Amino acid sequence: MSERWARAALGAYRYAGAAAYPLIGPYVAWRASRGKEDRVRRRERYGVAGRPRPEGPVIWIHAASVGETIAVVPLVECILDYGVNVVLTTGTVTSAKVADERLGSRIIHQYVPLDLKPAVSRFLDHWRPELAIIAESEIWPMTILELGARNVPQVLVNGRLSDRSFRSWKKRASVAEALFENLAHVVAQSDVDGERFRALGARPVTVSGNLKVDTNPPPVDERALATLQRQIGNRPTWAATSTHDGEEVVAAEVHATLHRRHPGLLTIVVPRHPDRADALAAQITGMGLTVARRSKGDRITPDTDILLGDTIGEMGLYLRLTEIAFVGRSLTSQGGQNPLEPAMLDTAVLAGRNVQNFREAYQRLLDRGGAKLVRDRDMLAGAVNFLLTNEAARHEMMAAGAATVDEMRGALQRTLKSLEPYIQPLVVKARLKGANGR
């Protein structure tokens, strides 16, 4: 791969509008000041290892944020059971916490290096991975090119390309092909994603389904759940989860519309970014509603209108407090959020119409009757009212969602089958290393 291609790839990547392209140290410092970086481990972002390399083969697995990390946990566990070392990189403090909670000391966690040649080279020089597995849509040109130059097989798993990303890459099709030809295999989430990767030059491409379906339901602290359930009692509830800017106000307005029809109604609002909680609490309070903040340990009283779920890692708690969940980033924002977690917890799923990033999951839920899309605030209020009023319809929708998730399972085994040619030689190598070490 020539330097000309590398420079072109980097330019196209910026053009494609990636979520963040950190180029200089001040960016990392800025993220640290906002709680998005671990100050103590900041050097890892420059490729400086925080741990020694273990003996034997190493597989590098990268999952950008919380959703991707949760999705790859079962895959990581299977690889660990083979006896192969795993270095798992993530990009955020919250995803690092999830990795620690679910995988602990079985893996080596590092923050992903910046996509700059010195950082990537330093990282690869130390860890010397023999296989790189990348989750979902993390296309980092310099990292891909450096791994390719070292002949390290790269496999993209749970791969997806949003409508926007696909359009952007198609405008630079030759650059996309120059990058994607470095991938040894792409395991795509859906047939649509698979065709998009093929159109951009990836070979071979297989389709597995969504790894997020094969994860366990989000965990819960049973003591905290019991405490909140006692405080709520028999009050009717609904939740607006993974909400983005504007959707919290919509949820509050829906509450104001419905609370007279449903005395004692409690609305649970779980913002995608809890660092907005202070402003949200002030905004909702200004609407004349009483807010209890989970992060403050506020008690839910009979006068509480809104439980503001401004904590990280407690989605399993909030979803178990209700049978109706609106999934955000779908009404006032674009793309949608994952509807599978509420569905697998027997929750009737509502969402806006902008769910392109989870198109297949929503289509399956809609076809089976496990989800309903709404156009606006009034339609959302009508849907919540209907489900609160009609227990039989609500339970039918809940059961349909859970059944849909069960039907969609199997992505993990299909992914492992695609990875087998790359993993099995490392399993043999690890076993020989162990035998020689005795």
Query: So which residues are the catalytic ones?
Result: 68
Which is it for strands 85-90 and 154-159: parallel, antiparallel or unpaired? unpaired
Residue pair 103/61 in contact by the 8 Å Cβ criterion: no
What stretch of H or E contains 417? helix 411-437
Instruction: Report the alpha-carbon distance of residue 378 to residue 18 in Å, rounded.
Output: 34
Query: CB under 8 Å, gap of 24 or more: what pairs does 16-22 form?
Result: 16/139, 16/165, 16/168, 16/169, 16/172, 17/164, 17/165, 17/168, 18/139, 21/115, 22/114, 22/115
Residue pair 308/277 in contact by the 8 Å Cβ criterion: yes
DSSP-derived 3-state class of residue 79: helix
> How many helices, marked H, and strands, marked E, lie in the chain?
18, 14
Cα within 13 Å of Cα(248), Cβ side: 28
Instruction: Report the alpha-carbon distance of residue 78 to residue 416 in Å, rounded.
Output: 9
Going by the DSSP 8-state scheme, the letter that residue 172 receives in this structure is T
- Nearest alpha-carbon partner for 210 in 394, 42, 408: 408
Place of tokens 């929708």: 397
Strand partners, 266: 237
Give residue 216's identity as a one-letter amino acid code: N
Cis? peptide before 54, omega within 30° of 0: no
Residue pair 275/328 in contact by the 8 Å Cβ criterion: no
DSSP-derived secondary structure for 34-64 = TTSS-STTGGGGGT--SSPPPSS-EEEEE--
Sheet of strand 205-207, all strands in order from the earlier edge strand to the far edge: 108-111, 85-90, 58-62, 131-135, 154-159, 185-188, 205-207
